Chains A and B, each alone.
Chain A
Amino acid sequence: MFENFEILETINMFRNQHLDVRTITMGINLLDCAAESAETACLKIYDKITKRAEHLVDIADQISREFGVPIIHKRISVTPISLVAGASSTDNYVCFAKALDKASKAIGVNFIGGFSALVQKGFTDSDLKLLNSIPQALAETDQVCASINLASTKSGINMDAVALMGKIIKECAELTKDTDAYGCAKLVVFANAPDDNPFMAGAFTGVGEPECAINVGVSGPGVILAALKEVPGQSMDIVAETIKRTAFKVTRVGQLVAEQAAKRLNVPFGTIDLSLAPTPVVGDSIARILEEIGVDTCGAWGTTAALAMLNDAVKKGGTMASSHVGGLSGAFIPVSEDEGMIAAVEAEALSLEKLEAMTCVCSVGLDMVAIPGDTPTATISGIIADEMAIGVFNNKTTAVRIIPVPGKVAGDKVVYGGLWGEAPIMNINLHGSTRLIERGGRIPAPIHSMRN
C-alpha cells in the first residue's frame, strides 16, 4: 500500500517536472554482416537491424502507456562500421551509412549510432576509409550518427587522428552549411568511449557486447531541481543527500522500464546510463540546478564545485537503484540543449574555457558547442586534444561535439529546433595551435594506466 503523498509525488514528477526515460537503445552486433561485396553487406545490415528491432518502438510505446512513463527516444546502436565494412572491397563507406539510415527509418526509431571507428592507437585501412566517408555520409543521411574514439587511458592519444578530425569536422560543416552545419551535431569524438552508451551521437555497440542488448538512459534534471528548491540555504551535506535520494527514484524508473523492455523484447538487459540529460524546455536544465545550488549564473566561480557534487551524488543515488550501470553516467552539459546554459553563454558568464573545466568533473565533455565558421582547423584539433587529455589523464570519458557554423561569428545564434535546441556562437581563443597539431604521432598513455 502507498501513502497518498507518495502517489502524488510520483504523478507530479511526470506531470510537472519533466521526468522521463530519455532513451531505450537497442544494441545490435553487426560483425556477422561482413561480406566481400559492399552491396551484400549492406543488405545483411538492413535485414538484421529491421528483424532484431522490429518491435522496439511498439513495445516501448506500450510500456510507456502502461506505467505512465514518457519514453522520449527509441534508438539503435550497432557495431562500429569500420569493423564490419573492412571485409568489403570498396573505398567509400557512404553506402553503409545509407543502409543504416534506411533501416532506422523502416523501424521508426529516430537515430542510429555506430558509423564509428576506434582509432585510439592507430588507424586500420578500414578506419581511414570510414573517417574520410564521414562528411558525405552525414550530409546524405538523416538519422545516422558517427563517433570516433581518438584516445584512451590505456593507449594514449592518437594525435594524427586528432589532426584529421579537425579537418573532417570542418568538411562536415561545409557540406551541411545549408542547415547551419547540422551534420556536426551528429558527429562526436571520444576519449575512453563506453561500449554500451545509449545516448546519441556517441552510441555504438562495442566488441565485448552481446549479440543484442537493451540499454536505457534516464533523465530528470527537473526532478532534481524541484527537490533542491525544498532545501534553500541548507548545507551542502543536505544538498548532496537530497540529490542522492532523488536520483535513486529517477533511476528506479529507468530500471523498471529497462527490465520490462528486455523481457518483452526477449533481449538481455544491458545497463542503465545514469546521466542527467537536459532538454531545451524550461525546467529541464542542468545549469538551473547549479544556480539553485548557489551560483548566480552557470559559469560563475563555484560552478565546477557544484557540478562535481551534483555528478557524484547522482551516481551514488543511481548506482543503488540499478542492477547494472554503464554508458556515460554523469551530468550532461550540452550548450544548445539546455536553456540555462544558453542563457549563461548569452550573459557572458560561461566561456568555452570554463566549460572545459566543468568537463573535468562530469561526463561527456564539450557538447553541442557552436563556434565561428572560420575557426582554423588546427584550433578545432587543439580543442579536441585538450578534451582528450582531460579524459585520458583523469581516467574518464570525455567527448567533443563542436559545430563550426559557416558564415557565423561569435554572438550570432543558430537554431536547430526540437531537442537540439539553439546555440549561441561562442568566443574562441584564436592564438594558434598549428605547430602542436602538425607534430602528429601519439601522446603516450599516462603512468597510472599501468595497473597490472
Chain B
Amino acid sequence: MSQSVKYNAVVTVLGKDRVGIIAGVTAVLAKLNINISDISQTILKDMFTMIMLVDTIKSTYTFENIREELKVLGQEMNLEIRIQHKDIFNAMQRI
C-alpha cells in the first residue's frame, strides 16, 4: 500500500460469503461518486471480510446519507456494512 493513498473513511463489509458481494457494494459506492483508494478482501473463519479505504470528498452526498445508503444495502444483501471516519482508527491504532 502506498503512503499517498487518499482516503477519509473506512468501509468494512462482514457477512456470509457468496457471489456478487464486491459487485453490489462497489456499485453503490460508484453511484454515490465515492472513490475506492484501496481494497482488500479475505475469508476469516467462514466470514467474508472486506476492507475498503475510500474517499468521499467528491461525493455530493453527506456522510450521513452515505451511511444510510450502505445500511440499506446491507439489509438487502444480509451483510454488515459500516462506514466510519478514518480518525477513529487513527485515534486507536496510532500514537
Contact = CB atoms under 8 A, between A and B. Distances in A.
A235 B63 CA distance: 45
B67 A256 contact: no
B49 interface: yes
Contacts of B60: none
Interface in A1-40: 1-2, 4, 6-11, 13, 15
Contacts, number: 63
A256 B5 contact: no
Interface string B37-51: 010101010000101
Nearest to B37: A1
A62 B93 contact: no
Contacts of A67: 84-85, 87-88
A9 B88 CA distance: 12
A249 B89 CA distance: 10
Contact of B93 (A10, A68, A69, A255): A10
B10 interface: yes
Query: What is the predominant secondary structure among interface residues of chain A facing chain B?
Result: helix
A1 B1 contact: yes
B23 interface: no
Given A4-B42, A256-B88, A11 B82 contact: yes
Contacts of A1: 1, 3, 5, 38, 53
Contacts of A253: 88, 91-92
B91 A66 contact: no
Interface string A252-263: 110110000000
Given A1-B3, A68-B82, A7 B87 contact: no
Contacts of B53: 1-2
Contacts of B82: 11, 68
Contact of B88 (A4, A8, A15, A69): A69
Interface in B1-37: 1, 3, 5, 10, 12, 14
Contacts of B38: 1
Given A1-B5, A7-B51, A11-B12, A66 B92 contact: no
Given A2-B89, A4-B42, A6-B93, A62 B84 contact: no
A65 interface: yes
Contact count band on A? 20 to 34
Contacts of A65: 63-64, 67
A10 B40 contact: no
B40 A255 contact: no
Given A62-B64, A249-B92, A252-B91, A8 B49 contact: yes
A66 B84 contact: yes
A66 B85 contact: yes
A7 B89 CA distance: 7
Interface of A: 1-2, 4, 6-11, 13, 15, 62, 65-69, 249, 252-253, 255-256
19 contacts: A1-B5, A6-B93, A7-B10, A10-B92, A11-B14, A11-B82, A13-B92, A15-B80, A65-B67, A66-B84, A67-B85, A67-B87, A67-B88, A68-B83, A68-B85, A249-B93, A252-B92, A253-B91, A256-B91
Given A9-B93, A15-B80, 18 more contacts: A1-B1, A1-B38, A2-B53, A4-B42, A4-B51, A8-B44, A10-B93, A13-B92, A62-B64, A66-B64, A66-B67, A67-B85, A67-B87, A68-B82, A68-B85, A68-B88, A69-B88, A253-B92
